[in-house]
Amino acid sequence: MASDPDQARPGAARALAAAWAALWAALFLLALRLPPDGREHGNLGQFLGRLHPLLVHGPTALLVLVPVLELAGLSARRPHLRLAAGWILTLAAAAALLAAFDGWLLAWSGGFRGRDVTRHMWDGVWLAALGALAALARGRRPRVAYPVVLAGSVVLMVFTAHIGGTLTYGEGFLSEKMPAPFRAWLGIPAPARAAAALTAAPQPAVRGGPGSTDPSNPAFYGLHVAPILSRSCISCHKPEKHKGGLRMDSLALLLLGGEDGPVIAPGRPESSDLLRRVRLPPSDDDYMPSDGEKPLTPEEIRTIERWIAAGAKGG
Ligand code: HEC
């Protein structure tokens, strides 16, 4: 039976390892010197970067396949599975490197920033390194190195994928609908009520109550204004991605404003930059929501205007 082809051609394997190390070093330097800083850098980078959520499925699937093949191949009836494992691991390491490069491109060019973004980026960089180390350790001494490094890569991969999912779908996406006993067993707190102000449907307690139509009632914000912002604006104005320095994931942050100062002048809709922007013609540079997102309806704009006119209060 043929031996491992990489070991049969040590020269080729060494060249591959050197090329890989150079690429990884480039990735490391990019992550270090050009971290995601919340500013956008070019459209082509963003276009290519947006392939990242697609690309990550490659290394994820390939990497979990490796221990499955190694273990299944222990059976005397399926030794061929172990032969495939080495090649698939090399492929997984290459795919992890590509996904990490593209993830950095997305974060840097797309105007991302924040603790989770940075952590996810470094997880990806180290995962690319660990995957390759596993490939390198396979079939070499000490024998224990390979299973340890492989297990480490799988654990780091799960962790990296989880933070990536959190960045994409929002905090608590996985646990929100989790059965309560299971959640308690894992020690995950119940979904925060504060988050409901922006993301959830109106609170039943005030629905239809006096707050529902009176814009000076603090409940008006959560009932009518927050859902509009949540639908049309928050994708670009949240912790991981505060375009223009403006965050809308809480009323306090919204009132704080962005790079150019406050965007809401309570009681004075005509002086509120936020309102000015949503009223502009969509072709205007300042128009919001930008990037061809669905414009606010006249009724939604009117709701925001009434809320600001009444003092921009919140409950
Ligand atoms: C597709 C991404 C995107 C969406 C969606 C979006 N914005 Fe923006 N927003 C930006 C970018 C980029 C900037 C910074 C550039 C600028 O000032 O025009 C910005 C800046 C702003 C600013 C100015 C902040 C400052 O102080 O400079 C306001 C106000 C604003 N947006 C309001 C909104 C509102 C209201 C919505 C929803 C109706 C919205 N945005 C939706 C991308 C977006």
pTM above 0.85, yes or no: no
Six-digit token string for 248: 């809308």
In terms of Cα–Cα distance, which of 118, 107, 131 is closest to 23? 131
Does 136 contact ligand 1 (Cβ within 6 A)? no
Q: What number is the average pLDDT over the span 117-128? A: 95
pLDDT greater than 50 at residue 197: no
Six-digit token string for 179: 């059965």
Instruction: Return the bridge partners of 110, or none.
Output: 40
Does 286 contact ligand 1 (Cβ within 6 A)? yes
Q: What number is the average pLDDT over the span 167-184? A: 77
Does 113 contact ligand 1 (Cβ within 6 A)? no
Give the residue, by CA position, lying nearest to ligand 1 atom 16: 244
Six-digit token string for 148: 């340890």
User: Beta 237-238 vs 241-242: how paired, if at all?
Assistant: antiparallel
Name 107's Cβ contacts closer than 8 Å, sequence gap at least 6. Answer: 35, 36, 49, 117, 120, 121
Q: What's the confidence (pLDDT) of residue 259?
A: 86
d(CA 188, CA 127): 26
Q: Can you give the residue ranges of every domain in the chain?
A: 5-169, 193-309
Does 103 contact ligand 1 (Cβ within 6 A)? no
Of 126-135, 161-170, 280-289, which gets the smallest average pLDDT? 161-170
pLDDT greater than 80 at residue 3: no
Angle at 44 between CA 41 and CA 45, to 5 degrees: 55
Q: What's the confidence (pLDDT) of residue 174?
A: 76
Better pLDDT: 202 or 299: 299
| R_g (Cα) of the chain, nearest Å | 25
Q: Which amino acid is at 246?
A: L
Name 208's Cβ contacts closer than 8 Å, sequence gap at least 6. Answer: none
Handedness of CA 172, 174, 178, 183 (dihedral sign): negative
Which ligand 1 atom is at minimum distance from the Cα of 111? 12
Does 273 contact ligand 1 (Cβ within 6 A)? yes
d(CA 179, CA 102): 35
In terms of Cα–Cα distance, which of 146, 45, 59 is closest to 98? 59
Q: What's the confidence (pLDDT) of residue 217?
A: 85
Of 61-65, 98-102, 130-134, 290-294, which gets the smallest average pLDDT? 290-294
Measured in Å, residue 16 CA sits from the centre of ligand 1 at 45
d(CA 239, CA 119): 14
pLDDT in tens, 205-223: 334 444 467 888 888 898 8
In terms of Cα–Cα distance, which of 273, 244, 272, 278 is closest to 259? 244
Place of tokens 């859902």: 227
Q: Is residue 238 within a helix (H) or strand (E), and if so which, with residue range?
A: strand 237-238
Give the residue, by CA position, lying nearest to ligand 1 atom 11: 243
User: In which band, very low, low, confident or very high, does the pLDDT at 292 lie, cut at 50, 70 and 90?
Assistant: confident
Residue 138's alpha-carbon distances to 67, 132, 143, 204, in angstroms, are 12, 10, 8, 58
Six-digit token string for 65: 């396949």
d(CA 20, CA 218): 58
Which ligand 1 atom is at minimum distance from the Cα of 291? 1
Q: Which amino acid is at 170?
A: G
Measured in Å, residue 169 CA sits from the centre of ligand 1 at 20
Report the SS3 class of residue 307: helix
d(CA 56, CA 164): 9
Measured in Å, residue 237 CA sits from the centre of ligand 1 at 7
pLDDT in tens, 222-280: 889 999 999 999 989 988 888 888 999 888 889 989 888 899 999 999 999 999 999 99
d(CA 138, CA 92): 14
d(CA 273, CA 285): 13
**Which residue among 221, 237, 256, 260 is best mutated to probe the pocket of ligand 1, counting the most ligand atoms within 8 A of its Cβ?**
237
